[in-house]
Structure 1
Amino acid sequence: MSKIEIACFNPESAIIAFENGADRIELCDGLSEGGTTPGFETTKQLREKINIPIYVMIRPRGGDFTYSDSEFEQMKTDVDHLKSLKVDGFVFGILDEKDEVNVEQNKTLVELASPLPCTFHRAFDRAKGLEGTLEKVIECGFTTILTSGQKPNVSEGKENLKKLVELADGKLEILVGGGLRSSNIEEIRASTKAGYFHSSAITDGGSFANPDEIVALKNK
């Protein structure tokens, strides 16, 4: 049985994930943009309805992962406000103009989020170099990296994912996601030896998680 985080782009998906055995929710808005910061009220209402961990995306817009000063200020404000809602963690990732991990800005947000854990999201897959990027993310104080192994999806990235799990060596968790489905999770788990997996469980091109897919992911 795998540990499963479901990326939910609306509260309805989060309830479906909760009711069908997900271990954790990654709560976002902005499905078409690949995930942005959810609204304060949405998060507040969801927190009152479910008791599994909710990690909240902090991303002011879609597109790249290099932010202006005002966008960075917005991210700090969002962490501060959402932290008051008794969420369980945050998900973000900031790169510099060279597509390398912006250690200073990420560290600032990790410290602001403390003592809550933070996941460095798939900005990792946009960065250059596996080992160096991993070291920088560890230096920032993240507890988890969400990655497809710096490839377009987990199937293409499985060799890199295996390497990342070995390199991380318990210093942080490698959360495997990006094109992960119940149809490939067994193969990916066997080849990577990862322990935590991430999927939207959306199977019809819509915006809601599929209950059967969550159950299948969990039980494979």
Structure 2
Amino acid sequence: MLLEVCIDSAHGAAAAQAGGAQRVELCSALVEGGISPSAGLVKACRAAFSGALMVMVRPRGGDFLFSEEEQQVMLEDIRQAKALGADGVVFGALRADGTVDASATERLWSQAKQLGLDATFHRAFDMTPDLPQALDTLVRLGIPRVLTSGGEPTALQGAGTLAALCTQAAGRIRVLAGGGVAPDMAAELVRLTGVTEIHSAAKRRHASAMTYRRPGMSMCSPHPPKDYEWNTTDADTVRALLNAVKGG
């Protein structure tokens, strides 16, 4: 069995090392499902963790329908991950109809392969309308691994589908089970599905050491992230702000 721990900090990398994890997936903004981490964070985690380091390649939160400009960012992030000592990358791309974007996925995988990197297709897989069909696409593209909960909120809920995906995979792609995996149910998940790799954040709540907390002030958005809606810079709003401050 292989345990992959999802981390978002150098502390997480050190904890994964101390706990004996064989592999980590490094992300930022886990509350949004994970986005690409900074170069400084990749470097710090590489120093703290001696096992396999997989780096998330996702330019923003929200959906997985990526423009040409966003794909260019992802390609550069793959190059940077290699330069910073990563062993692999984690990505996923979908079309507007929810199916796997084979063209974008092949492009990203080709870049990773050329650099000698491992790769995982992440849980964008669980947002597709037909998981067996999506798996066939990934097999055809030669993707080494797919992270999935079986299309359910948690891997245990999706155990039946995970088992079927493992049978369908038949050794052609590794099925990495993730989604709410905790110590009290991990053994049952393995028994029900036959997976040989599991993925977990292995997290606990951390309390801030700040002694001063300004009343009524928060930098956090009051609205939780959404899968199909996110904020982006708007040119008209930029112009309106400039006009306002210029008195125009």
Deviations along 1:180-220, whole A, 9 cap, x unmatched? 1111111111010100000001133779xxxxxxxxxxxxx
Distance 1:188 1:45, change over 3 A: same
C-alpha RMSD over aligned residues: 1.4
Distance 1:78 1:52 in 2: 21
TM-score by length of 2: 0.80
Contact 2:9/2:45 (<8 A) preserved: no
Q: How many residues align?
A: 206
Contact 2:106/2:141 (<8 A) preserved: yes
Which residue of structure 2 aligns with residue 12 of structure 1?
A: 11
In the alignment, residue 21 of structure 1 is paired with which amino acid?
G
Which residue of structure 2 aligns with residue 168 of structure 1?
A: 169
Distance 1:18 1:140 in 2: 32
Distance 1:35 1:17 in 2: 18
Which entry has the higher C-alpha Rg, 1 or 2? 2
Distance 2:207 2:91 in 1: 24
Which residue of structure 1 aligns with residue 155 of structure 2?
A: 154
Which residue of structure 2 aligns with residue 211 of structure 1?
A: none
Determine whether 1:108 maps to 2:107: yes
Which residue of structure 1 aligns with residue 179 of structure 2?
A: 178
Which structure has more relative contact order (CA 8 Å, sep 6+)? It is 1
Which residue of structure 2 aligns with residue 64 of structure 1?
A: 63
Distance 1:206 1:189 in 2: 32
The alpha-carbon deviation at position 90 of structure 1 amounts to 0.5
Distance 1:205 1:68 in 2: 36
SS in 2 for 1:204: coil
Deviations along 1:67-105, whole A, 9 cap, x unmatched? 122111111111111111221111010001000000011
SS in 2 for 1:5: strand
Which residue of structure 2 aligns with residue 82 of structure 1?
A: 81
SS in 2 for 1:99: coil
Structure 2: 5+ residue stretches without partners: 209-248
SS in 1 for 2:183: coil
Distance 1:18 1:202 in 2: 14
Which residue of structure 1 aligns with residue 144 of structure 2?
A: 143
Determine whether 1:120 maps to 2:121: yes
Q: Percent identity?
A: 34
TM-score by length of 1: 0.90
SS in 2 for 1:90: strand
Deviations along 1:86-127, whole A, 9 cap, x unmatched? 211110100010000000111011010112111000000000
Which residue of structure 2 aligns with residue 192 of structure 1?
A: 193
Structure 1: 5+ residue stretches without partners: 208-220
SS in 1 for 2:12: helix
Distance 1:163 1:3 in 2: 20
SS in 2 for 1:184: helix
Distance 1:59 1:5 in 2: 19
SS in 2 for 1:105: helix
Distance 2:177 2:58 in 1: 20
Deviations along 1:136-188, whole A, 9 cap, x unmatched? 11122211100000111112100000001111111111000001111111111
